[in-house]
A and B are shown apart, each in its own frame.
Chain A
Amino acid sequence: MDLFEYQGKSLYENFDIAHPNSHLINKIEDLEEDFTLSYPVVVKAQVQVGGRGKAGGIKLANNYEELLLFSQEILGMDIKGHVVEKILIEEASEINEEYYLSFTLDRSEKKYLMMLSAKGGMDIEAVAEENPDDLTMVHIDPSNSLTDEMVLKAIQDSNLNEKYETELLEIIKSLFRLFVDGDCDLVEVNPLAITSDGVKALDSKVSLDMNAKYRHEEFEDIEKDIPIPPSEKSAKEKGLNFIKLDGSVGIIGNGAGLVMSTLDVVAEYGGSAANFLDIGGGAKAETVSAALDVLETDESVTSVFINIFGGITRCDLVAQGIVEATRGKNLKWPIVIRLDGTNAIEGLEILKQNPNEKIFITETMNQAAELAVKGIK
């Protein structure tokens, strides 16, 4: 789960990671003249999209009048389709040098990866592309730790200012603790800056591993503050994995791989999917019924394709869910169903005993896709 800058910075506090003093507001009325911040301050739009600076979402204010003006300007601003609902007001730092630091998991190496560069404050992907030598990469064995020696060597290899070696070592180690103990998928700081007031993490890009939610109370509060698109909200509440797409064929399937391939097969027959909806493993009748409810709210759906290959999921329970969800209802669209695997025969029998003129059963994935795309004659 990708966090807003202010959320990442609130995690910095738990790990003693130096960053500028700040205030977060979501409405102008909360702006106070007697903020404990000292001017100048930076007004930063809180959006989960790059390029907010260029879009006018970051402004430097030298006094309260400017702060008020820029806050009014930025709150509610639309940055690439993201409406600014919160702004972070932060003491401006006098920056002497800007570095780049990140921790992530290198899936190929199956180790943690630290990346460090003296060329921070700019597009780090371009640095990696054009001057790969300017980016120091260090793999860290997850069953061991990040040692002082490894960090110091990386600092030297990256030609960072050696005068600040001790301070850099401390902040890098703290950021690594945030990455590991905080169960983050990503911790990225750009820039990690040498300021007139010491070494500070001026920005934050943090992504959390939600599988670790059970051991982090703070994850729940953070999650609550991340807006979900309205189209995905009801699905999420029902525990369904749903992503809205642009087409017209509603898709329900079990398992991400099978659903993805259902999208592919629909495309082969010239159609396009209205959504990706994975009911997961072991789905029960209620789950299937909830999935149909979610599609019901989508105006762009003209037909529905339910593609189930039972393993841990039982086809008879899926069929039961379909029957319960559609019984006595005047369906808005035809539903094409394909059932295979665990208890498929029982499932098909349930569907046959509860006929509905808008429900069609096919034997193969291809037939179902064709029918769902080309319409039922």
Chain B
Amino acid sequence: MAILIDENSKVVVQGITGREGQFHALRNRDYGTNIVAGTRPGKGGEEVESIPIFNTVQEAIDQTGANVALTMVPPAFAKDAVLEAAYADCELIVCITEGIPAKDEAEMYNLIKQKTKSKLLGPNCPGLISPGKSNVGIMPHEITLPGNIGVVSRSGTLTYQAVHELTQLDIGQSTCIGIGGDPVPGMSFIDVLKEFEEDVETQGIVMIGEIGGTAEEEAAEYIKANISKPVVSYIAGVTAPPGKKMGHAGAIVSGNKGTAKAKMSALEEANVVVVSNPTKIGQAVKEIM
């Protein structure tokens, strides 16, 4: 099963003619991902290593049956690219692009939510991988192992660290997802936790958060009420100095939330096993499974 992507997912890569877009499209294809199309306005009809290029996502979907978009375009064009994929009814859009203005993110998030049925992962995320089935994004698949643990994280490299810890102990993963650390991420911890709860293959969950924002506190409340599977968590930044406070308005919105301590105690209250360092994730999962 896995969540969101599997061996049947068909991927269209937006920005496939760019350096990063091409590199990762081919890397993902080598892993076994069905990369069926690419888009680049004005280059329709051409090919990248026998992957057909279309001018628009709609054309790519009509001709190849693509249902997942991997967005790797520069920040200035990202909002339009993501919305184009959403209006073409792509089921899942994975936006890797880093450095998109917060206003663009907020606008596209709300438009997608109100006007389409698409799910958006990212922006500024490493994407997701269902080991042995499909890799959509920039994660190093070498460190993954097919199995039953779902991994969700706000950070890219820390996701790899956690997956690595699991694989070292022969604990496989159903799907590993980086939701990204930007101000307005598409899918939240809660959205992903819900998918893991519903997935029969996933038997346990690893959730990795970091300081700032209130996403982990909200996830803790959700876990308490809705998640029956065991959850192990690590929050990065226990020893980080308090970040710059964004005026008083920011402080009012987040109150006392946002510190590593507040997040850890909220998760512990929800019966989550919280570890103090990422190298302890594997052992903690082993103990509760």
Contacts and interface: CB of A to CB of B under 8 A. Distances in A.
B51 interface: no
Counting contact residues on chain A (CB < 8 A from B), the size range is 35 or more
A355 interface: no
B278 A261 contact: yes
Interface string A254-275: 1111101101111110001100
Nearest to B214: A108
A108 B208 CA distance: 18
Interface string A267-294: 1100011001000011000000000000
Contacts of B184: 105, 107, 110
A111 interface: yes
A365 B279 contact: yes
Contacts, number: 184
A315 B99 CA distance: 24
A260 B109 contact: no
B213 A107 contact: yes
- Residue of A125, A261, A312, A366 contacting most chain B CB atoms (<10 Å): A261
Counting contact residues on chain B (CB < 8 A from A), the size range is 35 or more
Given A141-B110, A267-B239, A281-B98, A180 B103 contact: yes
Contacts of A209: 101-103
B158 A258 contact: yes
A212 interface: yes
Interface stretch (A23-31, A74-82, A181-189, A346-354): A181-189
A142 B109 CA distance: 9
A44 to B, nearest CB: 17
A25 B213 CA distance: 38
Given A255-B158, A257-B155, A258-B157, A310 B140 contact: yes
Interface stretch (B35-43, B60-68, B84-92, B230-238): B230-238
Interface string A131-144: 00001000001110
B110 A142 contact: yes
B83 to A, nearest CB: 10
Interface stretch (B1-9, B10-18, B192-200, B242-250): B242-250
A341 B75 contact: no
Given A110-B184, A260-B237, A281 B277 contact: no
A258 B158 CA distance: 5
A243 B241 contact: yes
Nearest to A272: B239
Given A111-B106, A209-B102, A264-B276, A186 B75 contact: no
B154 interface: yes
Given A214-B76, A261-B277, A341-B143, A365 B101 contact: no
Interface in A104-131: 104-108, 110-113, 115, 124-125, 128
A142 B279 contact: no
A102 interface: yes
A245 interface: yes
Nearest to B107: A142
Nearest to B260: A264
Contacts of B250: 104, 186
Interface string A81-111: 0000000000000000000001111111011
Contacts of A300: none
A312 B142 CA distance: 13
A258 B156 CA distance: 8
Given A255-B157, A257-B236, A265-B279, A107 B252 contact: no
A207 interface: yes
Given A142-B103, A341-B160, A260 B249 contact: no
A183 B140 CA distance: 34
B86 to A, nearest CB: 12
6 contacts: A105-B106, A124-B252, A125-B252, A188-B249, A209-B101, A310-B140
Interface of A: 2, 102-108, 110-113, 115, 124-125, 128, 135, 141-143, 180, 183, 185-186, 188, 190, 205, 207, 209, 211-212, 214-215, 243, 245, 253-258, 260-261, 263-268, 272-273, 276, 281-282, 309-312, 340-342, 364-366
Given A260-B211, A341-B160, 20 more contacts: A102-B247, A104-B247, A104-B250, A106-B253, A107-B215, A113-B249, A135-B252, A141-B110, A214-B76, A255-B155, A257-B155, A257-B157, A261-B277, A263-B239, A263-B240, A264-B237, A265-B277, A268-B277, A310-B160, A365-B279
